[in-house]
Amino acid sequence: MAQKKVLLTLAIPTFNEEKNIRIPLDSAYDMVDEVLIVDGGSTDKTVEIAKSYGSKVRILTVDNPSNFLINKQRAIDNAKGEWILQLDADERLSEELKQEISNFKLQSSKLSGYWIPRKNWFLGRYLMKGGVYPDAVLRLYKRDKAHFKLANVHENAIVDGNTSWTTNALEHMADPTFARYLQRWHRYNTFDAKQLVEKGEKPCMPCYFVGKPLITFFSIYLRHKGFMDGYQGLVWAFFSSIRYWEIYWKAGIKNV
């Protein structure tokens, strides 16, 4: 008797992603059984574009929490597939990764999930040094084995059971322009500042203006050889360092 086909859901959390939503859909739509868009109330054409891809697309309209991982958890709670392939709106499968996943025998797998190395696009190139690659993300997992702790915005899913790694990388088209990078930079800094305020922690001025920035810069640029990524590596190291200035300002002075 033939084994029952295991359904695979592509889950994408969105909010005003009309410029990006085609990136994951173009790369993975034809290999999945369902596309679940968890949309935080987009006011642009995100939902319209997603629906245009066909009958596989299902829209779950929710609120837009500051910790967008809440909407990734909602995808786990509402997906129909036994397995979930979770992508952000600015991520895509390389052709090699797409073929690799297509070859997995998910119906007989004893694994609960797969870690995927991620390449981050930054101002015209993928960052391969500076501790940025491989940027390990757990994005393919059994629905009933996975959940998010929701402690911070940078965490991966927690999977109950054994995991493995894919050979090929996910492509994160995160920051094609400096304007987009700054937009994301401010958003993450604000979230981290809010967490400090909610915990009642007041950041130490010398630590956030001198200690943490210096340690971060030298770790990224020298220890992890960020200088090998050209001027992009320098920009990445510098702004990763001075993010603590903004966090201090928002948590220690503005009390966001």
Summarised one tens digit per residue, pLDDT across range 164-212 is 999 999 999 999 999 999 999 999 999 999 999 999 999 999 999 999 9
Dist. CA 151–CA 170, nearest whole Å = 24
Q: What single DSSP character describes residue 152?
A: S
The pair of structure tokens assigned to 175 is: 């920051």
**138 has pLDDT over 90:** yes
Dist. CA 256–CA 250, nearest whole Å = 6
Summarised one tens digit per residue, pLDDT across range 160-177 is 999 999 999 999 999 999
Is 83 within 8 Å of 143 (Cβ atoms)?
yes
Class of domain 8-175: alpha beta
Q: What is the pLDDT of residue 158?
A: 96
The domain segmentation of the chain, as residue ranges, is: 8-175, 178-253
Is 172 within 8 Å of 90 (Cβ atoms)?
yes
Is 56 within 8 Å of 32 (Cβ atoms)?
yes
pTM, two decimal places = 0.91
The H-or-E segment that residue 166 falls in is none
Q: Which pairing describes strands 83-86 and 8-14: parallel, antiparallel, or unpaired?
A: parallel
Dist. CA 101–CA 31, nearest whole Å = 9
